[in-house]
Amino acid sequence: MSEVGGLYNVSEEHEMLREAIRALADEKIAPRAAETDESGEFPWDVYKDLVEAGFHAVHVPEQYGGEGADALAAVIVIEEVARACASSSLIPAVNKLGTVPLLLSASEQIKSTYLPKVASGESLFAYALSEPEAGSDAAGMKTRAVRDGDDYVLNGVKMWISNAGVADFYTVMAVTEPGIGARGISAFVVEKADAGVSFGPKEKKLGIKGSPTRQVIMEDVRIPAWRMIGEPGTGFKTALATLDHTRITIAAQALGIAQGALDYAIGYVKERKQFGKAIGEFQGVQFMLADMAMKLEAARQLTYAAAAKSEAAMHGAQIKDLTFFSSAAKCAASDAAMEITTDAVQLLGGYGYTSDFPAERMMRDAKITQIYEGTNQIQRMVMARQLLK
């Protein structure tokens, strides 16, 4: 299945980046994680810290004022932020999700208008594909965009939109030619400031509470035609191509959550004493830790290989198995994260079930990684189709 393009090198620069982002996460982000989860408020102070350090959108190319970091660097940033706080890791992750369609398909006018604002930290970018009746079946969307002179007029409701309301800009998929399915869908940039744009109430969620999830409601939203991303009818193709790159960032988030849970569990079992010795000395506990670490490392290697393929594809290489690898990485890492965080709660015993300790938050946060950007059932369908081609 594998082809050239999955070979990756964690360079000295990557390791220096990891040290820098981990230091920031340990000092500034981790101490705020429990409060962010409890309040459910977007962590603007964390955003400010990430912007000051240049970690909020490292993927934006240098020509638009960004860091120009490769896909593996973006994975490392998201992984290390998620190790401290999953909600905060959605800042770099959703910025990438919202802007990859621009990098793949947009005109130079769109890129030069919006990417510098994301790179500078002036604005956040989000992604609006799903609808109340179009989740896994995204091609069944109802949002319409009708041409009117030099404009398009958009009407519809997008649902489950991460960072909705705090983001200034949205990549929105809408039907421009009804009746022909996915081939009639186009992509647009919609601004929060556009007349007719509003947001539903914040969803009350199990986890990632510091990242608002809301409906994006468009009522007669008139936007200039130049804000179409790519040609008419290419929106769904752009959406699928985007997910090939950004599912890897969800894998990275899952890795970070799992690593945070494993690290905490290891520290705990070294200190917690029962029957006269640390519980980490009991073989049953040791086997659990070994399995947790093994699953995590396997998922990490798969994710880093997928990141290398993503990077090659963004530079024009034909990577035929990128779709398989991105789905496999997202699926494997999120399944591993759910198992590892559940085991961490178990290892902490009664303490693991309380919000005084971070394991239960990590377990709640891990669950969404199995659901968004394509459920893991959809990922298995995608992988199977790639195998049977």
Per-residue pLDDT of the chain (389 residues; tens, 9 = 90+): 555 566 789 999 999 999 999 999 999 999 999 999 999 999 999 999 999 999 999 999 999 999 999 999 999 999 999 999 999 999 999 999 999 999 999 999 999 999 999 999 999 999 999 999 999 999 999 999 999 999 999 999 999 999 999 999 999 999 999 999 999 999 999 999 999 999 999 999 999 999 999 999 999 999 999 999 999 999 999 999 999 999 999 999 999 999 999 999 999 999 999 999 999 999 999 999 999 999 999 999 999 999 999 999 999 999 999 999 999 999 999 999 999 999 999 999 999 999 999 999 999 999 999 999 999 999 999 999 999 99
Q: Which CATH architecture has domain 243-388?
A: Up-down Bundle (1.20)
Per DSSP bridges, beta strands 125-128 and 169-175 are: parallel
Sign of the alpha-carbon torsion through 225, 165, 49, 246: negative
* CATH code of the domain occupying 126-235: 2.40.110.10
Question: What are the residue ranges spanned by the domains of the chain?
Answer: 12-123, 126-235, 243-388
Fold: same for 126-235 and 243-388: no
Other Cβ atoms closer than 10 A to 190? 24
Q: Does domain 12-123 have CATH number 3.40.50.150?
A: no
CB 344 within 8 A of CB 363: yes
Answer yes or no: pTM beyond 0.75: yes
Task: Give the HSE-up count for residue 98: Cα atoms under 13 Å, Cβ half-sphere.
Answer: 32
CA distances from 365 to 76, 86, 128, 257 (A): 18, 6, 21, 8
What is 97-163 written as a DSSP string?
HHHHHHHHH--HHHHHHHHHHHHHTS--EEEE--BTTBSS-GGG---EEEEETTEEEEEEEEEEEET
Nearest to 251 by CA among 125, 126, 69, 379: 379
Give SS3 for 378: helix
- Is residue 297 flagged as an active site residue? no
d(CA 160, CA 215): 6
**Which residue bears the tokens 């990590």?**
362
For 197-231, b/e burial (b = at least 16 CB within 10 A) is bebbebbeeebbbbbbbbbbbbeebebeeebbbbe
Q: What is the pLDDT of residue 26?
A: 98
Q: What angle do CA 60, 299, 367 make, to 5 degrees?
A: 85
CB 198 within 8 A of CB 217: yes
**Which residue bears the tokens 């919000």?**
355
Task: Give the HSE-up count for residue 226: Cα atoms under 13 Å, Cβ half-sphere.
Answer: 8
